[in-house]
Structure 1
Amino acid sequence: MGNPFYVPGEGRAAAVDDLFTTVAPKYDLVNDALSLGWHRRWKRRVLRMAQARPGQTALDVCCGTGDIAVGLAREGVAVCGVDFNTAMLRRAQSRLDGIAASVELVRADAQRLPFADGTFDIVTVGYGLRNLARWERGLEEMHRVARPGGRVVVLDFGKPDNRILRRAYFAYMKAVVPAIGWAVCRNAAAYAYILESLNHYPAQNGVAAKMRELGMKDVQVVLLWGGIMSINFGVKAAPVG
């Protein structure tokens, strides 16, 4: 029997929306438990790679509860955070004390971003691309709204190249992660979904290949914990001619 939150095709958006509505109240707590707090360090690594400077503009796609968007705003950047899920946006809104003037939150579909071409200096996504019905379309949209020279940074679960590490990691994701999800928010299926979605996602190597296909420069893959997590980085090239 498949995971109720993993629905192939265009019906996936509604299922993922239901998932995040379910987990939103304890989303950050579960992330801390699953990663032993390391997700915060990984997001700080995203901020460093984004090379944010005061006065720049940034888009954080699938912004969730706002970790990356808030971090960018504290660097003096004007940030727009977009997410499809209203409950997650409410959680993000509650964290904007002192920086509300620098952050705009918008409910939008990452596969159809409501922004003009070449709008942002920085475009980030943390743990979101994998959840889209068409992750390639999401990355295409991120590339489209980045300015020439703009940085695109993707953080998500990876797939270790080392077979022993991969087996151990997938076993942990199958057995331990749903148990933690049940213990903290009484929903094992919502966290079993992570492995289900990862099985259908090409992870760091597929994202890097797509970045190159889009013509991005300086494409990099940063492996965290041996590839259990990964960061993809690319720079939008200037138009030719």
Structure 2
Amino acid sequence: MYAKEPKSVHVHFVFSQIAKRYDVMNSLLSFWQHKLWRRFAMRHTHLRRGGRAIDVACGTGDWTLSLAQAVGPEGHVVGLDFCKEMLDVAQEKMERRGYSRQQVTLVEGDAMDLPFDDNSFDVATIGFALRNVPDVLTVLREMARVVKPGGQVISLELSKPESRWFRSVYYFYFYRIVPWIGSLAVGKKEPYAWLPESLTDFPDRRRLEDLFRQAGLRNVVSYPLTGGIAALHIGVKAED
């Protein structure tokens, strides 16, 4: 990150630059694994027809629309992001797939200060964005606040492989190859140089479990995915 530049400012700059290419690059750089990870996450998401969900830091809206499919036309999903350029892509995708504003609402807002009342949603998700926020615990507490008692807080995020040999191979790809591919694809070095930087100080899978508990969530579980390069975390808000 640039010296003295607030993290939120730099992250906003990064994603505003790559919004149009974000989906293609995600698929390319993850070898299409991110789609399988999201399907796995949806199988663990306790959403019913007519339910309400919020997808925090929704980006281009892929998980938002998966949630909308799960709740059906009787339910409602909010996709929130602080980057208008990402939301513009999500809006185009939403309209192309035939979702109405009665089913899906896209909101420009701050994950650190969600503009919703307590106990508003059945599920709150965040996908591949928790490592980009200024304070992970604050975001988890906000997500816990807006879900109903018994509701789920779910994070799908890049992680750190636990096997030493696999970690060394993965880190070579992630820190050396990914920024190079990204710079060739978008014509700029900065956006994809940020990707490995964002993971360096991010908690590993077990430490992130602890932060879920510190946020007041119960029954916290995590699942390493594809050798631990990603992880799914789930916590439940305590019943009243």
TM-score bracket, normalised by the shorter chain, equals: over 0.9
Residue type of the partner of 1:53?
R
**How far 1:105 sits from its partner (Å)?**
0.4
Partner residue of 1:31?
26
Q: Displacement of 1:7 after TM fit?
A: 6.3
How many residues get paired? 234
In the aligned structure 1, how far is the partner of 2:239 from the partner of 2:4?
37
Structure 1's consecutive aligned runs of 4 or more residues displaced over 6 angstroms after TM superposition are none
Q: What is the Cα deviation at residue 224 of structure 1? A: 0.5
**Could you say which residue in structure 2 is the equivalent of 1:14?**
9
Unmatched 5+ residue regions in structure 1? none
- 1:184-228 Cα shifts (integer Å, max 9, x gaps): 111232112121111111132222101122332221111001110
**What amino acid sits opposite 2:99 in the alignment?**
I
- 1:107-186 mapped onto 2 (5 Å cutoff): 107-186=108-187
In structure 2, the residue matched to 1:99 is: 99
The residue type equivalent to 1:17 in the other structure is H
Per the TM alignment, residue 19 of structure 1 is displaced from its structure 2 partner at its CA by 0.5
Q: Which moved more, 1:120-129 or 1:33-42?
A: 33-42
Unaligned runs of 5+ in 2: none
User: What SS does the aligned partner of 2:80 have?
Assistant: strand
Alignment of 1:183-222 (within 5 A): 183-222=184-223
Is contact 1:49-1:153 (8 Å) kept?
Answer: no
Alpha-carbon distance in structure 1 between the residues aligned to 2:42 and 2:106: 19
The equivalent of 1:87 in structure 2 is 85
Match of 1:71 in 2: 66
Q: Which amino acid aligns with 1:124?
A: T
Partners of 1:38 and 1:160 in 2: CA distance: 15
User: What is the CA deviation profile of residues 150-175 of structure 1, one whole-angstrom value per residue up to 9, with x for unaligned ones?
Assistant: 01110111011111111111111111
TM-score normalized by the length of structure 1: 0.93
CA distance in 2, matches of 1:34, 1:160: 17
Q: Per the alignment, do residues 40 and 32 of structure 1 end up closer, same or farther by CA in structure 2, a change over 3 Å counting? A: same
The AA in structure 2 aligned to 1:84 is: F
- Show the counterpart of 1:53: 48
Percent identity between matched residues is: 37
- Aligned residue for 1:95, secondary structure, equals helix
Q: Take 1:13 and 1:106, find their aligned partners in 2: how far apart are those partners?
A: 17
TM-superposition CA deviations, 1:113-168 (whole Å, max 9, x none): 01111111000000111101111111111111111010111011101111111111
CA distance in structure 2 between the aligned counterparts of 1:214 and 1:17, rounded to whole angstroms: 25
Q: Is the 8 A contact 2:160 2:167 kept in 1?
A: yes
Q: Distance in 1 between matches of 2:170 and 2:120?
A: 38
How big is the shift at 1:91? 0.4
Which residue does the alignment assign to 1:233? 234
1:77-107 alpha-carbon deviations (Å, 9 max, x no partner): 4100000000000000001131123100001
Distance 1:81 1:31 in 2: 19
CA contact (8 A) 1:126 1:154 kept: yes
Which segment drifts farther, 186-195 or 85-94?
A: 186-195
1:223 aligns with 2:224: yes
2:192 & 2:182 partners in 1: Cα distance? 6
Contact residue 173 and residue 192 of structure 1 kept, 8 A: no
* Structure 1 partner of 2:57: 62
- Looking at structure 1, the residues matched to 104 and 83 of structure 2 have their Cα atoms a distance apart, in angstroms, of 17
